[in-house]
Structure 1
Amino acid sequence: MTFKQSVLSEHTFAFIDIETTGGNAQRDRITEIGIRFWRNGVVVGQWQTLLNPETRISGFIERLTGISNAMVSEAPRFSGLADELEQQLEGCIFVAHNARFDYGFIKSEFRRLGRSFSARVLCTVRLSRALYPEARRHNMDALIARHDLPAVERHRAMGDVTAMLAFFQHTLADRGESAVAGAVNRLLQRPSTPSNIPPDMLTALPASPGVYRFYGDNDALLYVGKSTNIRQRVASHFSGDHQSSRGIRVSESLRRVEYTETAGELGALLLELKQIKTLSPLYNRRSRAAKSLVSLSLQQNAEGYLTVDLVREILPERLGDYFGLFRSQRDALNALRGIAGKNDLCGKLLGLEPAGPGPCFQRSLGRCKGACEGAEDITRYNLRMQIAFHSLRLKTWPWPGPVALIEDNPETERSEWLIIWNWIHIDTLNDHQHTEADLEQYQPRSGAVTFDLDSYKLLVKALLGKDRNRHRIIELPAISQPAVLMP
């Protein structure tokens, strides 16, 4: 095939795939690299090597890739091949399936050596979505089946490169050079970014759910955010006019971006809350951890009338005994004043006025029916109290033990199991490190967990709200509950 003057004839495309010890580019390492170079319709070369990752390969990864610790024990380290790899890729368009994974790992390996690496990046997952928008799945196995591509050795670098290049060549025959070149051009266009960060920063971000973190000078954490599309959300910080002076300050101070992928939106929301509360980023104001939580409990006094106590030691296993969660005593008292005004309840019995003989102030205004003087029937008053506080009653945990709330993402083929107990997010497991069968032996990590107001609200909505059927839930066997800290 002879190509017209276009991006397809002007550049060498390096179809690259890597195998790694895990899914985290900051922590895990590369075990194999395979590259096939393609230009103007012809394969013009290839490059392949195993790498010693300088860490142990887990049994799970060995079974997945077929690359064992013995196979890489005598292989070169990345540091010994960095110069050669950089020369091989110089001037090429970096092509990979789910490219941010491969590109992110290559950049991280160079970064460990104190070096930077940059390239124009083309993702064949995004190319497939652009050319075949009607298709639901775009992972490599789906492409092989849908387009009847040749069988390859999956999860080995050169096998996956072969499949990727076969897909690319299939698109040329199926959609035509003009359509493919147009899609490639659009995908290679880079959105604008602040001048103080690398121009390819957005390219390396995933278009999937998760949490992103902005860092400034001296690695100060500026901001933590979440999105169902990290790349799109981060790009939105830099497009158009900023709506606030804070946005301008964040953009001017930004030096680098980190992210953590999740399988779904709930996992991203919970992780965002946790990181805001524990890491205290400079420009996050909402969702900061409360200094203390206050709730309300109803108790009968000596005469049998229900009174209100402020509660600061909240037991998660007894949430059904409490009414409302407030970030301060002032918020709790303001809520009580509102309840008293709407329901003609006694200020003394609510703890809004000092105890003592005589009627409450509300009684003198005609806003109390006389419980403070024994003038209102006890049963009637207590019923009115229960009705007034009903909507504030906290939700009792509806399962005998912990549960795993499962989020699946068919686009990224990622699954996560959010371990929840007594409305506390205890842990998150993912299918890169575990199987669903592991849940039967699950035990929480050592250390205490914190009962959090915002997480409680999120989890009540997810597990009991109108969208509760969106998630699959598995009841877990009894475990040793970790110590619970209250703010």
Structure 2
Amino acid sequence: MTETAAFLDSATLAFIDLETTGGNSAADRITEIGIRFWHDGEVIDEWQTLLNPQTRISPFIERFTGISNEMVADAPLFADIADTLRDKLDGCVFVAHNARFDYGFIKAEFRRLGQAFSARVLCTVKLSRRLYPQHRRHNMDTLIARHGLPTVQRHRAMGDVEAMLAFFETTLTDKGGEAVEAAVRHLLRRPSVPSHLPTDILDTLPQAPGVYRFYGENDVLLYVGKSTNILQRVASHFSGDHNSHRGVRMSQSLRHVDWTETAGELGAMLLELRQIKTLSPLYNRRSRAAKTLVSIELTESDSGYLQARLVREIGPHRLGDYFGLFRSVKDAQRALQGIAAKNELCNRLLGLEPDNDGPCFQRTLGRCQGACEGEEDVTRYNLRMQIGFHGLRLTTWPWPGPVGVVEYNRERDRTDILIIYNWMHVATVHDEAELADLSLSSGSVTFDLDSYKLVVKALMARDGHKRRIIELPAVGSPDVLMPDADA
């Protein structure tokens, strides 16, 4: 008998399903647990119980699951069955459909009792994706229809367990034991994780867009990152993809990981930028907040020539009047020097030389065509200025008021509406009904170089990527904070 074949012969799989008061394991509670234990091709035991969640079951959840407040009023508390549940699951593979949900709730309940819980976890959603990659949808209703599984009482714990087990046994018949063995072994394979983290940390992370945060001792924030798949990205940190000296030091310091889900990539990128700038994690170098922002404004001299001046007070409502955003005066002057050299412009009119009488220094070198002495045609010079600065012109906000950029994640059934005004992300709501009561005047937002570039690229892209954008009335505007020029 091969090692592969021996695994399903020897392992006990605990097919488990929970019903809960909601979807947040930190705030919601379990109302029902159902388990069937499968070993060597047959069900060897089953166990189920209602639980008193010690909180009210909402009418929506009651309609969804059929479990009412009256049904659980006299049911045991989780604390009453915790030891029994732990004993039953001991040594078993924890199998669930969308296992992160069920496993997260079980861990949270034990955590409330001051106890740790861990198990090897097999997700039948991932198993279906691996064995049937040609299909897009892998929710339980889809699997029941696709594989002709028996009709069960959906959204009750034992009914969903029955459907899940029927799917698993169908895969053994359809794909053969060897293929299922290989898929199960692959899904149970764990990347190594830093020594100070729980060994099952990857079982708790979502396969969804969002931002993740690494913490060290005393909750010191080490690193903030973003991904369209949080689990995949965090696992890559642990697998040696970041095996630099800096990565090794961060791994050795790591004590805790948490995350925030978003509906899409744009929301994740904006949240990552904001948290890096406001929380200043130790290991994030790029995208730190600029102490000051400098831009360039073109005005006419008394002689009619266009001249450049550096500005620090940048009005987001009139960005089209400015050229370039720079993190320092030196960066802006460096850009001016490059434009001057490329277009033979006058350094004095660009503010790079003092305003003295006579020709500018570049004129004496033959690199200025005489505007400093009034010898170059004004129209011709101004045209060359406009050409030289064209690529730096900032983008004017093209809508009359704020807009809502809609991101929808079908797999997570999550909607984020990112409220953006003058290229600044000012709020996020999750339902169009919330837009009617939206007021932007009650908050403040900092105009930021990286966010500006990110939002312009996302909303003005010409690559065919279509975003749903809702135009909103101008119902007040947030206070705009600029980086402190004296910081």
Scaled by the length of structure 2, the TM-score of the pair is 0.89
Q: 1:456 aligns with which of 452, 465, 475?
A: 452
Q: Matched residues in 2 for 1:423 and 1:74: separation?
A: 55
Amino acid aligned to 2:429: L
Point out the more displaced range, 223-232 or 367-376.
223-232
- Encode CA deviations 1:47-103: one digit per residue, 9 max, x unaligned: 23244255x666766665566677767765544543343233222211122212222
Equivalence for 2:43:
42
**In 2, are the aligned partners of 1:36 and 1:43 still within 8 Å (CA)?**
no
Amino acid aligned to 1:169: E
Equivalence for 2:104:
104
Amino acid aligned to 1:48: T
Q: Matched residues in 1 for 2:248 and 2:399: separation?
A: 47
Point out the more displaced range, 68-77 or 349-358.
68-77
- Encode CA deviations 1:336-393: one digit per residue, 9 max, x unaligned: 1111111111111111112232222121111111111111122222221111111111
Equivalence for 1:164:
164
**In 1, are the aligned partners of 2:429 and 2:435 still within 8 Å (CA)?**
no
Q: Given the superposition, is the C-alpha separation of residues 423 and 187 from structure 1 closer, same or farther in structure 2, using an over 3 Å criterion?
A: same
- Structure 1 residue 317 corresponds to structure 2 residue 317: yes
1:5-404 alignment runs, 5 A limit: 6-20=6-20, 22-25=22-25, 27-40=26-39, 41-42=42-43, 44-52=45-53, 54=55, 77-240=77-240, 242-404=242-404
- Report the Cα offset of residue 291 of structure 1: 1.0
Q: Matched residues in 1 for 2:73 and 2:288: separation?
A: 47
Q: Matched residues in 1 for 2:482 and 2:159: separation?
A: 52
- Encode CA deviations 1:389-411: one digit per residue, 9 max, x unaligned: 11111111112222222223344
- Structure 1 residue 481 corresponds to structure 2 residue 477: yes
- Report the Cα offset of residue 463 of structure 1: 1.0
SS state at 1:7 partner: helix
**In 1, are the aligned partners of 2:292 and 2:312 still within 8 Å (CA)?**
yes
Equivalence for 1:407:
407
Point out the more displaced range, 375-384 or 283-292.
375-384
Point out the more displaced range, 280-289 or 167-176.
167-176
Point out the more displaced range, 409-418 or 188-197.
409-418
**In 2, are the aligned partners of 1:37 and 1:46 still within 8 Å (CA)?**
yes
Q: Matched residues in 2 for 1:131 and 1:167: separation?
A: 12
- Report the Cα offset of residue 267 of structure 1: 2.0
- Report the Cα offset of residue 321 of structure 1: 1.3
Amino acid aligned to 1:382: N
Q: Given the superposition, is the C-alpha separation of residues 36 and 20 from structure 1 closer, same or farther in structure 2, using an over 3 Å criterion?
A: closer
SS state at 2:199 partner: coil
Point out the more displaced range, 452-461 or 350-359.
350-359
- Encode CA deviations 1:160-200: one digit per residue, 9 max, x unaligned: 33432332233233223332222112211111222222221
Q: Given the superposition, is the C-alpha separation of residues 51 and 285 from structure 1 closer, same or farther in structure 2, using an over 3 Å criterion?
A: farther
Point out the more displaced range, 190-199 or 240-249.
240-249
Q: Structure 2: any 5+ residue segments left out of the alignment?
A: none
Q: Given the superposition, is the C-alpha separation of residues 107 and 369 from structure 1 closer, same or farther in structure 2, using an over 3 Å criterion?
A: same
- Report the Cα offset of residue 106 of structure 1: 2.4
Q: Matched residues in 2 for 1:148 and 1:118: separation?
A: 34
Q: Given the superposition, is the C-alpha separation of residues 405 and 219 from structure 1 closer, same or farther in structure 2, using an over 3 Å criterion?
A: same
Q: Matched residues in 2 for 1:303 and 1:68: separation?
A: 83
Q: Matched residues in 1 for 2:419 and 2:464: separation?
A: 16
Q: Given the superposition, is the C-alpha separation of residues 14 and 479 from structure 1 closer, same or farther in structure 2, using an over 3 Å criterion?
A: farther
- Encode CA deviations 1:209-265: one digit per residue, 9 max, x unaligned: 222211111121111112222222222223347542111101111112212222322
Q: Matched residues in 1 for 2:67 and 2:324: separation?
A: 55
Point out the more displaced range, 70-79 or 252-261.
70-79
Q: Given the superposition, is the C-alpha separation of residues 119 and 6 from structure 1 closer, same or farther in structure 2, using an over 3 Å criterion?
A: same
Amino acid aligned to 1:473: I
- Report the Cα offset of residue 324 of structure 1: 0.7
SS state at 2:31 partner: strand
Q: Matched residues in 2 for 1:315 and 1:73: separation?
A: 60
- Report the Cα offset of residue 206 of structure 1: 2.4
Q: Matched residues in 2 for 1:353 and 1:171: separation?
A: 77
Q: Given the superposition, is the C-alpha separation of residues 63 and 279 from structure 1 closer, same or farther in structure 2, using an over 3 Å criterion?
A: farther
**In 2, are the aligned partners of 1:20 and 1:30 still within 8 Å (CA)?**
yes
Q: Matched residues in 2 for 1:52 and 1:446: separation?
A: 38
- Report the Cα offset of residue 133 of structure 1: 0.8
Q: Matched residues in 2 for 1:291 and 1:220: separation?
A: 23
Q: Given the superposition, is the C-alpha separation of residues 449 and 69 from structure 1 closer, same or farther in structure 2, using an over 3 Å criterion?
A: farther
Scaled by the length of structure 1, the TM-score of the pair is 0.89
**In 1, are the aligned partners of 2:15 and 2:38 still within 8 Å (CA)?**
no
**In 1, are the aligned partners of 2:401 and 2:421 still within 8 Å (CA)?**
yes
Q: Given the superposition, is the C-alpha separation of residues 399 and 12 from structure 1 closer, same or farther in structure 2, using an over 3 Å criterion?
A: same
**In 1, are the aligned partners of 2:5 and 2:181 still within 8 Å (CA)?**
no
Q: Given the superposition, is the C-alpha separation of residues 80 and 355 from structure 1 closer, same or farther in structure 2, using an over 3 Å criterion?
A: farther
- Report the Cα offset of residue 282 of structure 1: 0.8
Q: Matched residues in 1 for 2:197 and 2:163: separation?
A: 34
**In 1, are the aligned partners of 2:446 and 2:480 still within 8 Å (CA)?**
yes
Q: Given the superposition, is the C-alpha separation of residues 338 and 126 from structure 1 closer, same or farther in structure 2, using an over 3 Å criterion?
A: same
